[in-house]
Structure 1
Amino acid sequence: MSSVHSLLESRPVSVAHLFLSRVEATPGQEAYRYPAPIDDRAGGGDSGAEQWRSLTWAQTGERVRAIAAGLIALGLQPEERVAISSSTRVEWILADLGVMCAGAAATAVYPSTNADETVYILSDSGSRAVFVENAAQLAKVAGHLDRLPGLGHAVLFDAEEAVPQLEKMEGLEGLEVLSLAELEKRGTAYLEEHPDAVEKTVRAIEPEQLATLIYTSGTTGRPKGVRLVHDCWSYQAVAQEARGLLRSDDVQYLWLPLSHVFGKALISGQIQTGHVLAVDGRIDRIVTNLPAVRPTLMASAPRIFEKVYNGIAGRARAEGGAKYRIFLWAAKVARDYARAGQESMAATGRRRVPASLAVRHAIADRLVYGKIRAAFGGNLRACVSGSAALAPDIGYFFAGAGVRILEGYGLTETSAGCVVNPADDNRIGTVGTPLPGTEVRVAQDGEILLRGPGIMRGYHNLPEKTAEVLESDGWLHTGDIGEVDEAGFVRITDRKKDVFKTSGGKYVAPTEIEGRFKAICPFVGNILVIGDGRNFCSALITLDETQIMPWAASHGLGGLGYAEVVSSPQVHELIDGFVQRVNGDLQRWQTIKKFSVLPRDLDVEHGELTPSLKVKRPVVEREYAEVIEAMYEGSREA
């Protein structure tokens, strides 16, 4: 414990300091891997083929110093904002580290953010420069520079591909547009005249200096800019290592959006330990990338684990007969094995299971679990799950199959995870224990309060909103309801604002019901339980197209489109079966009396999901208000 305390007390002033130290300590070691097209100038190959390339810490340091010096040459001053609007890729990390080492502060912008909100974020943050992935991101500010008087520079990652569009793009007058390579070249020239410029700038950084603005993806109104200082990220770096989440010999696969605080925090931890980070934000490449990267660690949102589980179950069902029965048996063995081990660990401090269960588990491992681990690359020691609740049954399944998922908890306002399960005592159904240096307490109304170095310093330009959630003594009101057990493990039961009361006066926590449904229904995409002020609970359900269409083809619905399939009586009967199974384990007032299957799944493009794949309940309820009302027409007190 004293070594952990010493690590926290001696944490670096900033991640910029930490980064320069890392480059000096391990210059020749691999830092980052990233996919790049194979150079096929000779012809005859696959023009779309890719290969993984690497950057050592020394190479990374050289590029980051050039970017930082380039920003300094542009006139950027300490704490002035530089926005980054791009998908997850290695250039995002290089730009972010360059901003930090220039003493400036990064403004993270989701690439899926529309033009109006992008301009609002750049304006509210006062960003003076912006890194953009491509011409599509740059086009969001074109014609709106009158609202962005401070924005003077835009730096393109994919400059060559953007040239044709740039030639036609209007509304960029007064904005200097240059490629990332041109910025680095300008920085290199600046360093020839001022060789210690970056080091001097980094030495001047203070712990409470603004490092990052991350705008929360609000469900109503404009998003709020969360002010995270350098000490927030330094704390995250050392706390992640102290908890044992990250190790120096890890190979981590990172696909999470870096504009989200979860992904951003992992960069700090990676620099602390110096392990390899393989970066590719394309979700459709996850299945292909995992066997190629063979990671030891991956962080994810629960939706990915749900889709993987549904995919495994769907393939087994399609094979039918004995193979499907074997899968169902193995799935139950996995859950029983994981539960037994967890219960014995909590009770005795040792992980033990009954001998007969261990035998069944060994057989199931040879028949089923090995293939599951191979799909993840065959080398995983742990996954970290955050941003939304993980259904316990899914957690138990993967744990029993040898894919350990460590659920954690945090907010943008806490610089990501501040509570997480320890690798040696993972307790599924909880989000773990506080990271060293973080305090947790439960208010009288059940709200979780947090205090520690990772807590934000307030909302940008919004002192009144800050005062609503941040007390003068540092306690942050999270808006989540939960409890802490005797061993210090935290359990989140629901969002305070999502818990509703039926017209009969009964409180319902929808997340718990939704999690139970996801755990038993392999066809579900998303589910929202409705019932605030109503006399019974209902649900909006979406189905995963990749799972329901094969089922439909084998049940007399072949040739129909997705919308026709999900609206069919056969599918309604199928889903009703799962609803009744869930209802069997609920209190009467919690049960789902009616449900509607929506004509498509929820997505980010329609504004129904955040980029981290959390459901925006108010948006969905507004969009499907007529569907909801139809479920309650003519209803009487139940």
Structure 2
Amino acid sequence: MGPYEWMSWKEAEGVVGKWAAGYRKLGVGKGDKVTIFADTSRDWMFTAMACVHQGIVMTTAYATLGEEGLTHSLNECEVTTIFTSADLLPMIAKVSQKCKELKNVVYSGAAELKALELVKHLRVLSLTELEALGEESPVEPEQIDKEDLAMIMYTSGSSGPPKGVMLTNTNVIAAIAGGRDWIAPHLQETDVSLGFLPLAHILEFTSELNLLYSGVAIGYGNAKTLTSANMRNCQGDVQALRPTIFVGVPQVWEGIRKAVTEKITASSSIAQALFNSAYNSKLWCLRNGVPGLAAPFDKIVFSKIRDQFGGRLRYALTAGAAVPKSTQEFLNVTTVKLANGYGMTECAATAAAQDLTRTLEYGETSVATSIEMKLVDCAELGYKTSDVPRPRGEVWLRGPSVMKGYYRQEQLTRDTITEDGWLMTGDIGEINEYGGLVLIDRKKNLVKMSNGEYIALEKMEANYKVSKYVQNICVYADLQQNFAVALIQPVEKEIRAEFGADADYNELCARKDVRALVHKSLNEVGKGVGFKGAELVGSVILTPEEWTPQNGMLTAAMKLNRKVILNRYKADVAAVYA
């Protein structure tokens, strides 16, 4: 890997225009659909821009999406043309046998002859060939209407087949406007952002459009090359780019916190005391409105942590799921101002975000200017807007960023959006004393135990991930029981550090003393954040198998696929409850 190479706006416009003309030459016109099935990159975003240039509807598919999910989305949208990467051509070959409308494949990167042979029954072009095709037959930008469909973004499919969310030009523009009102006052001309989350996820897509609209340069990377620790003889993406703005998900921030605390724990008692003293002193400065007094701590203690991100990081956004309070505080003190964001594909991502001057106020967000929000009683779960001191209920959203509906699923659309335009999110929220929205949990993940107690599964999972033994966790509660069970993908390194590097890992995960240690760690974490009763898990199951989208344990968006996990370990769960 070499240093980043940059393109000017003029150069980017020229490339996008040629690609747009190339797609037109392939027979793709206004209202037709092009699927983008690739990892995040400049080429992904340029393809999206080329679609907008000609009023082509882009449909998205995660690069980690399996054969069944990709086949479903291609057939549902009757897609004739797909953009992908050279390494994904074998997957295109597989699904093409079941997708009779698919005719054209455009790919990025260098393709092996063997891979090209697999798709020879289709018209296949490299990006270089597409650009040449467009250069021969230039076209003017297509006239598009604000209510024209801009994209069909498929959800990750954690509760069934992926759903196609229809977003119009108005939806996307409104979301960008709402996001810009939040970030614009804090931007500088020299700001640079690192794009690495899946652009097939609405968080990354809308965030990048927001930053581009504000004139922020974007450099691209990926999870495998993100840090220098993953590289040999060269810098990782964050060290090479040195971003000032960063958008991540809880898994990223939790990984950073664990890596730092692991190093601190392994250091001398003097170094630990210095770190803890600096941490507590800076936290006091931040909480008492005198951040300037913390400058010496940043320079002497925390600069080494900041250097892992290139040393220039000023603001970061976390969204997609809940981040533990302790992790958000840790990042704010040691690394960057980390703000919570809230949204969903159905409202083009932008619903609420934390004030960048109040990032220590855990969970608090302000509703975006592009949308209106209200809470609605959820009596069956005991949440009411009349609750004192904090009104609580299901979060409903309405405004120009709310989707047109689910593609070819009219009944599901009616079940999700009221006749007067309110999007029923399924999220439970409360209004705090400052008027901020605080998310409590997902309605579908609130479980009533046999003793009458309600537990919030996602809240429990987010907090239990703080344990150094937990790589990933899925909490399950049998309604007929009075305790919950935690299914855990452990951090193998930490397990082996306690019980032996040479032991059989499958056997370690099955041992009672190993499970007891992890269970004790979870209970310590739970009590530390104020969990009581049924929120403290009654048992743990350690799974030696890694949870990935490839084996179905996670969705393409890296969220828990609860049904698959529980089905895989149903015998273990039954044994716990026996």
Equivalent residue, structure 2, for 1:526: 472
2: distance between equivalents of 1:492 and 1:430?
A: 7
Asked if 1:208 corresponds to 2:147, the answer is: yes
- Aligned counterpart, 1:273: 214
Please tell me whether residue 501 in structure 1 is matched to residue 465 in structure 2: no
Q: 1:320: how far off?
A: 4.8
Find the counterpart in structure 1 of residue 406 from structure 2: 459
Q: Which moved more, 1:204-213 or 1:312-321?
A: 312-321
Structure 1 residue 566: deviation in Å? 4.2
The CA deviation at 1:198 is 2.5
Q: In the TM superposition, what is the alpha-carbon distance from 1:112 to its structure 2 partner?
A: 0.9
Q: Could you say if the C-alpha distance between residues 616 and 594 of structure 1 is closer, same or farther in structure 2, counting changes exceeding 3 Å? A: same
Distance 1:144 1:425, change over 3 A: closer
| Partners of 1:583 and 1:139 in 2: CA distance | 46
In structure 2, the partner of 1:595 is 540
Counterpart in the other structure of 2:388: none
C-alpha spacing 1:302/1:566, structure 2 compared with 1 (3 Å): same
CA distance 1:410–1:286, change in 2 (3 Å): farther
Measure how far apart 1:327 and its partner are. 4.0
Deviation at 1:420, TM superposition (A): 0.6
Q: CA deviation at 1:365?
A: 3.6
Give the counterpart of 1:180 among 127, 137, 161.
127
1:301 aligns with 2:249: yes
Paired with 1:477 and 1:532, the residues of 2 have a C-alpha distance of 27
The residue that corresponds to 1:369 in the other structure is: 302
Using the TM superposition, give the Cα deviation of residue 507 of structure 1 relative to its aligned residue in structure 2, in angstroms: 0.9
Structure 1: runs of 5+ lacking an equivalent: 1-48, 192-196, 342-350, 634-638
1:198 is matched by which residue type in structure 2?
Answer: E
Q: Once the 2 structures are TM-superposed, how far is the Cα of residue 562 of structure 1 from its aligned partner?
A: 4.2
Which of the numbers 12, 19, 26 marks the counterpart of 1:74? 26
- What is the aligned counterpart of 1:405 among 338, 342, 345? 338
Which residue matches 2:523?
580
Instruction: Spell out, residue by residue over 1:449-492, the C-alpha distance to the aligned partner (whole angstroms, 9 max, x if none).
Output: 11122111000000000000111221101111111224331111
What is the rounded CA distance, in whole Å, between the counterparts of 2:43 and 2:209 in structure 1?
16
Quick check: 1:244 aligned with 2:244? no
Question: How far does residue 597 in structure 1 lie from its aligned partner after superposition?
Answer: 2.1
2:6 to 54, 58, 62: 54
Q: 1:337-385: CA deviations, max 9, x gaps?
A: 55x34xxxxxxxxx258xxxx97x5665455322111111111111110
Q: Does structure 2 conserve the Cα–Cα contact (< 8 Å) formed by 1:529 and 1:539?
A: yes
Tell me the distance in 2 between the aligned counterparts of 1:117 and 1:570. Answer: 40
Is contact 2:519–2:539 with CA below 8 Å preserved after alignment?
Answer: no
Q: 2-side partners of 1:366 and 1:270: how far apart?
A: 29
**CA contact 1:408–1:420 (8 Å) conserved in 2:** yes
**8 Å CA contact 1:501, 1:532 repeated in 2:** no
- Say which is worse superposed, 452-461 or 219-228, in terms of deviation: 219-228
Q: Which residue of 2 aligns with 1:45?
A: none
Q: Secondary structure at the match of 2:4?
A: strand
CA distance in structure 2 between the aligned counterparts of 1:543 and 1:323, rounded to whole angstroms:
28
Q: CA deviation at 1:506?
A: 1.4
Amino acid at match of 1:276: A
1:313 to 228, 238, 261: 261
| Cross-structure match for 1:41 | none
Alpha-carbon contact 2:194-2:245 (below 8 Å) kept: yes
CA contact (8 A) 2:3 2:240 kept: no
1:304-336 superposed Cα distances (whole Å, 9 cap, x missing partner): 000011011112223354334444555555555
Q: Tell me if the contact between 1:525 and 1:601 (Cα under 8 Å) persists in the aligned partners.
A: no
Give the conservation status (yes or no) of the 8 Å contact 1:118–1:140. Answer: no
Q: Match of 2:500?
A: 557
Structure 1 position 84, deviation (Å): 0.8
Tell me, in whole angstroms, the C-alpha distance in 1 between the residues paired with 2:275 and 2:565.
35
- Aligned mate of 1:622, from 563, 567, 572: 567
> Do the aligned residues in 1 keep the contact of 2:61 with 2:154 (CA within 8 Å)?
yes
CA contact (8 A) 1:226 1:460 kept: yes
Report the equivalent of 2:381.
none
Q: Relative to 1, partners in 2 of residues 1:307 and 1:447: Cα closer, same or farther, differing over 3 Å? A: same
Amino acid at match of 2:105: A
TM-score (norm 1): 0.82
The number of aligned residues is: 552
Q: CA deviation at 1:146?
A: 5.6
Q: Alignment partner of 2:59: what SS?
A: strand
Deviation at 1:181, TM superposition (A): 0.9
- C-alpha distance in structure 2 between counterparts of 1:66 and 1:214, whole Å: 24
CA distance in structure 1 between the partners assigned to 2:548 and 2:99 by the alignment: 30
> Match for residue 576 of structure 2?
631
Q: Structure 2: 5+ residue runs without aligned partners? A: 229-235, 379-392
- Whether contact under 8 Å (1:493, 1:511) holds in the other structure is no
Q: How is 1:101-500 mapped onto 2 (pairs within 5 angstroms)?
A: 101-134=53-86, 136-142=87-93, 144-145=95-96, 147-158=98-109, 160-167=110-117, 169=118, 172-173=120-121, 175-191=122-138, 197-199=139-141, 201=142, 204-244=143-183, 247=187, 248-287=189-228, 288-333=236-281, 338=286, 340-341=287-288, 351-352=289-290, 364-445=297-378, 446-500=393-447
- The CA deviation at 1:531 is 1.5
Contact kept, 8 Å, 1:440 with 1:448, in 2: the verdict is yes
* Distance change (3 Å), C-alpha of 1:560 and 1:365: farther
Residues 241 and 269, structure 1, Cα contact 8 Å, conserved in 2: yes
- Provide closer, same or farther for how the CA distance between residues 143 and 499 of structure 1 changes in structure 2, counting only shifts above 3 A: closer
In 1, Cα distance between equivalents of 2:249 and 2:499? 35
Q: 1:164-185 CA distances to partner (integer Å, 9 max, x unpaired)?
A: 3212x16x53x21111111111
Q: CA deviation at 1:97?
A: 0.7
Q: Normalized against structure 2, the TM-score is what? A: 0.90
DSSP 3-state at the match of 1:600: coil
Q: Determine helix, strand or coil for the equivalent of 2:93.
A: coil
Residues in 2 aligned to 1:150 and 1:579: alpha-carbon distance in whole angstroms: 51
Alignment partner of 1:218: what SS?
Answer: coil
**% identity of equivalent residues:** 26
Q: Is the 8 A contact 1:84 1:107 kept in 2?
A: yes
By how many angstroms is 1:567 displaced?
Answer: 4.3
Give me the whole-angstrom Cα distance separating, in 2, the residues matched to 1:598 and 1:631: 14
Q: In structure 2, do the counterparts of structure 1 residues 621 and 284 end up closer, same or farther at CA, with 3 Å as the change threshold?
A: farther
1:412 positional shift: 0.9
Deviations 1:610-631 (A, max 9, x none): 3333222222222221121121
Report the residue type matching 1:137 in the other structure: L
Equivalent residue runs for 1:10-29 within 5 Å:
none
- State the alpha-carbon separation in 1 of the partners of residues 97 and 140 from structure 2: 32
| Letter of the structure 2 residue corresponding to residue 71 of structure 1 | Y
CA distance in 1, matches of 2:218, 2:271: 37
More off after superposition, 607-616 vs 460-469: 607-616
Q: CA deviation at 1:563?
A: 3.8
Question: CA 1:558 to 1:386, structure 2 compared with 1: closer, same or farther past 3 Å?
Answer: same
Local SS of the residue matching 1:477:
strand
Distance in 2 separating the partners of 1:502 and 1:586: 15
Question: Structure 1 residues 143, 277: closer, same or farther in 2, change over 3 A?
Answer: closer
Q: Output the CA distance in 2 between the equivalents of 1:335 and 1:449.
A: 35
SS at match of 2:550: coil
C-alpha distance in 1, partners of 2:50/2:526? 53
SS at match of 1:299: strand
In 2, distance between residues paired with 1:102 and 1:108? 17
CA contact (8 A) 1:240 1:435 kept: yes
1:503–1:140 distance in 2 versus 1, CA, 3 Å: same
Q: How many Å separate the matches in 2 of 1:496 and 1:121?
A: 27
Contact between 1:212 and 1:227, CA under 8 Å: does it hold in 2? Answer: yes
Between 1:489-498 and 1:623-632, the stretch displaced more is 623-632
Do the aligned partners of 2:107 and 2:127 also contact (CA within 8 Å) in 1? Answer: yes
The alpha carbon displacement at 1:151 in A equals 2.1
